[in-house]
Structure 1
């Protein structure tokens, strides 16, 4: 039985009283992703900030730390959202005081997005406990386990990145 009480995973049945198998790893990864998604919902930095808002803000904070300005089109591509959704997202983040729009330094027609002062501290404060617990879990691994986990996650990322979405049946 899995930790959350389900006796089988999504199309990957588990067998009790056997050695762990590859499908058990997939089931554990799926459970982790479910828990992570639920945690992100619980730790939003403000009641109006959704998961996409938080992801956008984290990306902008990271870009700011690297000294890079981010155009809305680049952020939309990173988040996998349409330009219309991007406009709504940016408007919401600007209105909430989390993001500012600035003129692009070399292209007068373009704008770049930057996290507003204090946005990094607000996000860090809200996610600090989760990061601390995750780091403690990672630090409990042996060097061999770390290598195995990193190898596995790299292979999973490659597998997911290689997926091509098939067209819907009947669509033209």
Structure 2
């Protein structure tokens, strides 16, 4: 291995190490968020999905939520019951399909999520905004390529 190869390897290890440190910090932030909102991971993911759908003007059904979260419908029903009791969402008849329900996050949920996650999002945007155009493109491209690698199925071992 040449000195250049060794330098490249050390740089790559430092990048992957930095990514691991970020992932650990993000997981800790998610845990703190779930604890402060007294919710599990799926509950918070469901709420975020509902809020985004409402922002986009889409009606969400329990089935859509089950598909998004990759959960069984019975488990989604239990989760929806819990989130309804806690005041985070309501269920009402679907506006165009009489056989289905519409699931809607309450205004208070939107406020709670914005309050809990808003400041962290602003700080992350400040860091991202501090990058120059070339740096931003390098980072964006790096994350796109990492996402492609992570989404690729591993070869099967037979």
TM-score (norm 2): 0.84
| 1:49 is aligned to 2:39 | yes
Task: Give 1:111 deviation, angstroms.
Answer: 0.9
Secondary structure of the 2:92 match is strand
Higher helix share: 2
Q: Select the residue among 82, 90, 96 that pairs with 1:92.
A: 82
> Relative contact order (alpha carbons < 8 A, sep ≥ 6): 1 or 2 greater?
2
Task: Give 1:28 deviation, angstroms.
Answer: 2.0
| 1:67 is aligned to 2:57 | yes
Secondary structure of the 1:102 match is strand
Q: Who is 1:109 aligned against?
A: 99
Give distance in 1, aligned partners of 2:118 and 2:79: 24
The question of whether the paired residues in 2 share the 8 Å contact of 1:52 and 1:79 is answered with yes
* Bigger Cα displacement from structure 2, 145-154 vs 155-164: 155-164
Q: Who is 1:139 aligned against?
A: 129
Aligned residue-pair number: 152
Q: Who is 1:162 aligned against?
A: 152
The question of whether the paired residues in 2 share the 8 Å contact of 1:60 and 1:70 is answered with yes
| 1:125 is aligned to 2:125 | no
Q: Who is 2:3 aligned against?
A: none
Give distance in 1, aligned partners of 2:112 and 2:35: 7
Task: Give 1:77 deviation, angstroms.
Answer: 1.8
Gaps of 5+ in 2: 1-5
Gaps of 5+ in 1: 1-16
Q: 1:109 to 1:157 in 2, by over 3 A?
A: same
Structure 1 vs Structure 2 CA RMSD = 2.4
Task: Give 1:46 deviation, angstroms.
Answer: 4.6
Give distance in 1, aligned partners of 2:26 and 2:35: 16
